[in-house]
Amino acid sequence: MMTKGYRVSFVVVALAAALAGAAAPAAAARFSPWNNGTTATEPQTQVQRIDPDTFVIRQSVRTNFEAPFLYLLFGHDRALLLDTGAGGLAIRPAVDAVIARWLARHGRTSIPLVIAHSHSHGDHIQGDSEFAARPETDIVGLKPADVASFFGVVNWPDDIATFDLGGRRLSIIPTPGHEPAHIMVYDPRTRLLLSGDMLYPGRLYVPTDQFATFVASADRVAAFAKTHPVANLLGAHIEMTTTPGKDYSMRAPAHPDEHRLELPASALERLQAAVHRMGETPAISNEGAFIIYPRPPRPKP
């Protein structure tokens, strides 16, 4: 379906194993091909449904070279939108359209919306202003203290908080390093770990002065995964091709032959092992499905 610049397609995550009980193996996400900028007429956003309460929204690379992914999760009491895009388009119509269809299916007229962020870099927060006056909408602040306060993380970044959407309890995992307020979100219903910019098929940028913090976050989330079944990691970008180890050029205007969005849970162990091999000397390391990419610290504002 194509309407007002966005397309909705439906894809099912194999959840039978997840519904069968905690001892069942984790299910794997499977998506239809994502819009990749190779078609001049592609819509500004593309939506794929994981299950009736879980949606992924991709911003077209034709609107912004970052082409980020946003995640919208529904519970009985409220919904969570993770990230608001990179700008270059109006993102709220696509979000509101998904919410409207969800409400119609449930015979409801409204649901409170919480807008949080994987982290505060500009390509994930540009749509915030579109939601500022939206009824029943809370926008979480961008600093670590704001995130910790909203989600109830007592000791940032060591504690992991629980955020209940109403019959759907998410784990909020602080993972600073790429950016001070970075978090991952784990959903036990789908067994998906939303991994932001810390781990995705692409270049994992790490400021060299925050490398030790990044390593500690890799250890934290790897330890979490040992006690929580993870089907897949879903990150905020795709920057790799289907050829192992081959990424796109910086600011590539299109992504032909794009790597899949989902990464296996084993990518956490690979990331952890790779950063520990570096010791105190971070260096670019191509791990096939992702590239650890240390860089000089950003100038302080």
> Which sign, positive or negative, has the C-alpha torsion 36, 37, 38, 40?
positive
User: Could you tell me what percent of the chain has a pLDDT over 70?
Assistant: 90
What the block records as the tokens of 5 is 């610049």
Q: Is residue 300 part of a domain?
A: no
Q: Is residue 301 part of a domain?
A: no
Query: What's residue 301's pLDDT?
Result: 62
The total number of residues written for the chain in this structure: 301
According to DSSP, the residues that pair with 113 across neighbouring strands are 79, 137
Total tally of structural domains belonging to the chain? 1
Query: What's residue 30's pLDDT?
Result: 78
According to DSSP, the residues that pair with 134 across neighbouring strands are none
Q: Is residue 153 part of a domain?
A: yes
How far apart, in whole angstroms, are the C-alpha atoms of residue 213 and residue 219? 10
Range(s) of the domain holding residue 151: 2-295
pLDDT tens for 242-295 read 999 999 999 999 999 999 999 999 999 999 999 999 999 999 999 999 999 999
The answer to whether residue 22 scores a pLDDT higher than 90 is no
Q: Is residue 85 part of a domain?
A: yes
pLDDT tens for 23-80 read 344 456 679 999 999 999 999 999 999 999 999 999 999 999 999 999 999 999 999 9
Q: Is residue 275 part of a domain?
A: yes
pLDDT tens for 200-250 read 999 999 999 999 999 999 999 999 999 999 999 999 999 999 999 999 999
Can you give the CATH number for the domain in which 211 is found? 3.60.15.10
Q: Is residue 176 part of a domain?
A: yes
Q: What angle do CA 285, 30, 81 make, to 5 degrees?
A: 80
Query: What's residue 298's pLDDT?
Result: 77
Query: What's residue 221's pLDDT?
Result: 98
Q: Is residue 7 part of a domain?
A: yes
> Which sign, positive or negative, has the C-alpha torsion 146, 151, 153, 156?
negative
The answer to whether residue 18 scores a pLDDT higher than 50 is no
Among residues 142, 125, 276, 299, the alpha carbon closest in space to that of 209 is found at 299
pLDDT tens for 142-201 read 999 999 999 999 999 999 999 999 999 999 999 999 999 999 999 999 999 999 999 999
Q: Is residue 281 part of a domain?
A: yes
